[in-house]
């Protein structure tokens, strides 16, 4: 009887397993493109957070400025309008690529203005990226995207910021798109340590990406995306679920093996078929 019992159990396990299709990436190409566009756009927020939190917690100090410039391979010009108390700050940041912290590379300029101490509830940040000198983002696949426009950030809790993307545009090759939507960044660990190195952040929110005439796709984070900001970890998310809709629906699971690993593998489900995709390929 034992062999029969084992065969029944094995058969049930096989029947309960989800079939993973090995068809070409073209089957879910639009879903993959949505991941890259969203990731490239919102990945600049931890860079901004790294700068603001270090100055807010360690002071507007020349040594801190030099450390940031080394870490980010950047030139930072600051004007503290209230003489050193960090209540109202204006920064000009020039990023020159090959930074030492983040997996994406950033080249270009942005202006950051902070009202009130950045760590206080209700503090507001306005980030401006000009059309004439956009912020160009390069990833490990040698793809590039450029960001232009404004990002607005407000601190709502000691470990939470709200990010408004409505003034931000992204250019991919010859196509230009405009973001509409908002995000919540909630720090799970590291919020009391200056900078963002090794922090873990949960990201939630929804919105649409539009061109001049039509909606390119809508996006909704149905399970918060976990972002591990350890330098050696993936530039993508280690868990969470993203739903993308255009003419089709893409259910994107960033933790298909349910282990929170720092890898680039996602599971994309479209029309009832699931595909395991390595985003680094």
Q: How many angstroms separate the CA atoms of 112 and 126, rounded?
A: 6
- Whole-prediction pTM: 0.87
Q: How many angstroms separate the CA atoms of 137 and 28, rounded?
A: 23
Give residues with Cβ within 8 angstroms of 256, minimum separation 6.
Answer: 265, 266, 267, 276
CB 197 within 8 A of CB 101: yes
**Would you state the structure tokens that stand for residue 174, as one six-digit string?**
């010859």
Note the pLDDT tens digit of each residue in 145-173. Answer: 999 999 999 999 999 999 999 899 998 87
Residue-level pLDDT at 116: 84
The percentage of residues in the chain with a pLDDT greater than 70, rounded to a whole number, is 87
Note the pLDDT tens digit of each residue in 62-109. Answer: 999 999 999 999 999 987 655 456 678 899 999 999 999 998 899 999
**Would you state the structure tokens that stand for residue 97, as one six-digit string?**
């690529």
Residue-level pLDDT at 59: 84
**Would you state the structure tokens that stand for residue 107, as one six-digit string?**
């080249």
């Amino acid at each position: 009887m034992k062999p029969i019992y084992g065969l029944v159990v094995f058969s049930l396990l096989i029947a309960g397993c989800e079939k993973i299709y090995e068809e070409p990436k073209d089957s879910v190409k639009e879903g993959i493109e949505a991941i890259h566009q969203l990731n490239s756009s919102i990945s600049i927020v931890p860079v901004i957070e790294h700068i603001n939190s270090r100055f807010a917690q360690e002071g507007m100090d020349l040594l801190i400025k030099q450390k940031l410039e080394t870490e980010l391979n950047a030139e930072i010009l600051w004007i503290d309008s209230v003489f050193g108390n960090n209540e109202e700050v204006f920064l000009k940041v020039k990023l020159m690529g090959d930074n030492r912290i983040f997996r994406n590379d950033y080249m270009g300029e942005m202006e950051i203005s902070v009202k009130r101490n950045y760590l206080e509830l209700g503090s507001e940040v306005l980030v401006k990226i000009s059309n004439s000198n956009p912020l160009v983002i390069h990833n490990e696949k040698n793809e590039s995207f450029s960001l232009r426009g404004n990002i607005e950030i407000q601190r709502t809790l000691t470990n939470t910021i709200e990010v408004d993307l409505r003034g931000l545009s992204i250019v991919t090759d010859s196509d230009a798109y405009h973001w509409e939507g908002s995000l919540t960044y909630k720090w799970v660990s590291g919020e009391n340590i200056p900078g963002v190195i090794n922090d873990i952040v949960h990201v939630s929110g929804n919105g649409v990406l539009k061109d001049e005439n039509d909606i390119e796709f809508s996006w909704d984070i149905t399970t918060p995306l976990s972002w591990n900001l350890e330098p050696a970890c993936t530039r993508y998310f280690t868990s969470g679920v993203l739903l993308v809709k255009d003419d089709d629906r893409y259910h994107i699971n960033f933790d298909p093996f349910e282990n929170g690993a720092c890898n680039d593998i996602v599971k994309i489900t479209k029309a009832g078929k699931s595909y395991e995709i390595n985003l680094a390929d």
